[in-house]
Structure 1
Amino acid sequence: MTMKVISECFVRPQHEVEEAKRCYHLSPGDMFMLSIDPIQKGLLFSFEEWTDLNRPDIESLVKRLKRALSIALVEFYPLAGRFETIKYEDEHACSVYIDCCKGPGARLVHASYVDLTVSDILSSTDVHPAIRSFFDLGEKMVNYDGHTKALLSIQVTELLEGVFIGFTMNHSVVDGTLFIHFVSTLSEIYRSDLEGITEDLIRISRVPLYKMFAPDGYGPIFKVPYLEPEEFVIRYDPGLLRERIFHFSHESMARLKAKANGECGTQDISSFMALSGLEWKSIIQARSPEAHEKTACYLLLNARTRLDPPLSDDYLGNFLRAARVECNVDELLGRSLGRSARLSSPEVKKHTHETICQFIKWRCDHLFVMKPANSIVIGGLARFDMYGPEFGLGRAVAVRMGFANKDNGKVTANPGCEGRGSADLEICLRPPVMSTLEADEVFMDFAS
C-alpha cells in the first residue's frame, strides 16, 4: 500500500478578525495537555451506492472544503495560529499563549491510496495500519509542537470506492466537545456552499465562545513552575499495542443496562455506567494482576455543566476532569457487573464547582501525574454526534482515530454507525491481553 500526496496548502480566516490580534492565553487545563497527543478522529465515507453520474469528485470536494475552512476560521480563529511561550526567568516559570496571527494557518492535505478500499478498512479485525497515515500524513507530535506546527490539520484521503476525512486538532486548544462542534460547523458551512448560498450570506448556527474560566484570584495568565520545555514536555512511547474496535449494538447496550440494574435491584445505572463497569472488570481480569494490587478506572468528564453557573458547551478550551475510581483487584473481580458499574457513581458526583476550582489551583503546580499500572482510562462519549457531519457525502460508514493518545488500557467510546444508542469502543492493550479479552465469553456476549 502506497500513499501519494496530491496537494498541501495552509488556510487562514476568510478575512481579518480584530479579536485575533489579542493573545489567547492557555488555561491550566490547556497547559496540562501540552505533553499529550492532539485529538485525531475522522470519518470514512463509501461511494459503493453512488452511480458514475453522481459520484463525488474529490478534487472539487477539497476545493469546497478549503473555502468552508476559511469561513469557519473566522469564528475559530485560534486554530489558525501558533503557540508562543513567555518565560519568567526570575520565577523559573513560563506561560503559553496562542498568537492567532502567527504562521501560515490551518493545514489542508489531499492524499490518495490507489490500492486501499473502504472494505479493507471495515473488514480489518484490528484497526487497519494505514489509518495512522490518514491524519497529518502520519506525522507524530505532541500538543507543545503547536509552536511550529498547525493547531488544526485536515486530510482528505482518496480510497477505492470512498474517501476518508481526518481531523487533527491540538488538544491544548480544544477538548472533545469543541472538536465535534468545529467539525459539525465545518460541515454546516460546506452544506451551505453546496446549496449555492454565497459566502457573504453563510451563517453558522453555533459560534464558539471565548471566556476563560478561572477560580477567583487566578488568570488570565497562568504560569507553571518550569522554564524550559524539556522540564515538562514528555514524548511518551506506549510500546507495542493492539488496537481493536468492539461494537455494542442498541440491543446489546439495552441488555447490558438491564443486567446491571437487575443485579442491584435498581434503575439508576445508565448504559454508559454499565458499559464502563464491563470494560474495567473485563480488562483487569484479562491482565491477571495479583489480587491484593490496586486498580483504578479513570472516567473523563465534561466539567462545563458542573460549574456554577454552568458553562455552555460552546466555550473554547479544555474542560475535562477525570473521575478516579480505585479499589483492590480482588474487590473489583469479586463484584457483579452491576456493583462494578456503581463504583463510579460517588466519584462522578464529587466533581462539583468547588472541587473543580480546587483542582485547577492544584494543577498550576502539578502539571503531570502518572497513572498506576493496573488502570484503564475511558474517554470519548457515545453521545458525541460524530455521524452528523456529512460534507455532502451522505452518512459516514465508520469513525476511526489516528495514532494519538493510544496507551495500554485506553478506551475511547464513539457512537455506533447504526445510531439508536449503539456504541463502538476502540480498546488499546498489549497483544497477549487483547487475545485474552477476545476469549472472554462474558465480554464477547455483549460485543462483536
Structure 2
Amino acid sequence: MSEQTPPALSAEDEARLAAAKKRVGRSAVIGAIFLMATSAIGPGFITQTATFTAKMGSAFAFAILLSVIIDICVQLNIWRMITSSGKRAGELANSAIPFSGHVIAVLVIIGGLAFNIGNIAGGGLGLNALLGVDPKIGGLITGALAIIIFLIKKAGPVMDVVLIILGVGMIVMTVIVAIVSGPPIGDALRQTVLPDKIDFATITTIVGGTVGGYITYSGAHRYLASGHTGPEHAGPVMRAAANGVFVTGIMRYVLFLAILGVVASGVTLDLSSQAANPAGQAFGAVLGDTGLRIFGAIFWAAALSSVIGAAYTSATFLSTFHKRFLGGWSLQWATVAFIVVSWIIYLLIGTAPAAILVFVGGFNGLILPIGLTVFMYIGWFRRDLLGARKYPLWLLIAGTLVTLLTWYMGAVSIGPIFAFLGVGA
C-alpha cells in the first residue's frame, strides 16, 4: 500500500502555524531571560546580601559591581556558544574535550542539588515570615507548587509566565523597601568603584550565588527551546543575555540599598545565631510587621523561582548521559524527581536554612571556573563547533580574564568560606 501524502496546508493555516511558532519562540526567549535572572536573585543571594552588607556596609557595593561584570562576561560567552552550536553545555563540552561534559554535568547537578536544598529552605523561611507556617511545611508547599508546574502538559510556557510574574513582583516590592529605608546613596556609589575594603571570600560567595553552578547555563539552555539557534542568531542572543544581566543587576543593587539603609540607620542585624534571618530583620526594621510580610513574599517568590530554575537546568544536564532527557515527559519527570530529592534531603539534614543559603553560594563559586575553562578552550581552539570561523575577540579576552579571576578567587576563598560556617577546610 502506498503512503498517502498529507494534504497541503492552506495559506491561512500556514500563517496560523507560523504565528504559533513565533509565539512559542518569543515565550522561550523571554522565559530564558527571566529564568536566568530569577535564578540569580534567589533566597541565597538575598541572605548573602543581608549578611555581607551588615558586615561590610557600603563597601559591599564593589562586590555587587564585580559580580555584575563577571556575570555579563560569563553569560555573553555561554549563551552565544551554546546557542550557536545548538547543543546543551555538557554535549558541547564533550565534543571539544571527551568526558569534560560529564565532569561539568556532575558538578552542576551536585551544585544544583545543594542550591535547591537551600532554595527549598528559603521557601520555608519565606512562608514562615509571610504566613507564620512552620519552615519545613513551607518548604513542602514550595516544592509541591514547583512540582505541579512541571506536571502540567505544556510546562515550558507555564514556567515562563510564572517566572516573569515572580521576577517583576520581587523587583517592585524591593524598590518600595529601598525607598523607605533611605540608604546613603552617595557613599554607596563611591564605594561601588572605590571600596574601603575588598574581601575575596565575600566576592566568591556572591559570584557563586548569582553566576555559579547551574545559573551559568540556565538561560542558555532555555533559549535553545526558542529554535533561534545557530551563529546567524548571535545578535539577538547577545541582547537577550545582556537584558537578563540587566534585570539581575537592578535587583541586586536595589536589594543592597534596602539593607544598607537599615544598617546605616544604626540597626544591628543578628548574625551570631545559625538560625538568624538577617534579611527578614532588615525588612522588619523598616516597616515593622508589614515589612516582615513583604520580606516573606519576596523571599518566597525568590525561592520558588529558584527551585524551578535549579531543578530544570540540572535536569537538562542529564541529556549529557542519555538523549532521552533532551525534552518531553522524560525531562519533566526528571525535574520533578530532582525537586523531590532536594526536599527529602532538606528535611533530613536539619541544618539551619540561613547557613545552607550562604554555603551553597560559596560552593558554586568554587566550581564555576571549571566549566568556564572548558568553554574558553572551545572559543579559542574549537570554533568549528560553533558553526562559524569567527568569534568576537573582545568577548574571548573578557571571558578568559574572568576565568582566571574566578580560579584565583576560588583558591584564596576555600578556607574563609568554610570558616564562615565553622567547618574545617
Q: Please confirm whether the aligned pair reaches a TM-score higher than 0.5, indicating the same fold.
A: no
Category of TM-score, reference length = shorter chain? under 0.3
Tell me: higher relative CO, structure 1 or 2? Use CA pairs within 8 A at least 6 residues apart: 2
Which structure has the highest strand share of the two? 1
TM-score of the pair, normalised by structure 1: 0.24
Which structure has the highest helix share of the two? 2
